[in-house]
Amino acid sequence: MPNFTLEVATTEPHNLGEGPFWDEKRGNLYYVDAFVGDVCKLNPDDKTVEKKHFGDGVTTIVIPVDNSQDEFIVSYSKKILHFNWKTDEKSELAEIEAGNDKTRLNDGKCDAKGRLWMGTVPTVAEPELGSLYRVNGPNNMTKHFGNVNLSNGMAWSNDSKYMYFADSMKRLIHVFDFDNQNGEISNDRILFDYNANRDAKPTELPDGMTIDLDGKLWVANYYGGRILNIDPNTAQIIDKIDLPATNITSLCFGGPNLNQFYITSAYRDITDAQRKNEPLAGSISINVFPLKFGKS
Q: Mind telling me the catalytic residues?
A: 207
207 is in an annotated binding site: yes
Is 149 one of the annotated binding-site residues?
no
Q: Is 257 annotated as a binding residue?
A: no
Burial (CB < 10 A; 0-12, 13-18, 19+), residue 35, is middle
Q: Which residues of 132-152 are buried (b: 16+ CB within 10 A; e: fewer)?
A: bbbbeeeeebeebbeebbbbb
106 is in an annotated binding site: yes
Residue 7 known to bind ligand: no
Q: Which residues participate in the annotated binding site for a divalent metal cation?
A: 18, 152, 207
Q: Which residues participate in the annotated binding site?
A: 18, 104, 106, 152, 207
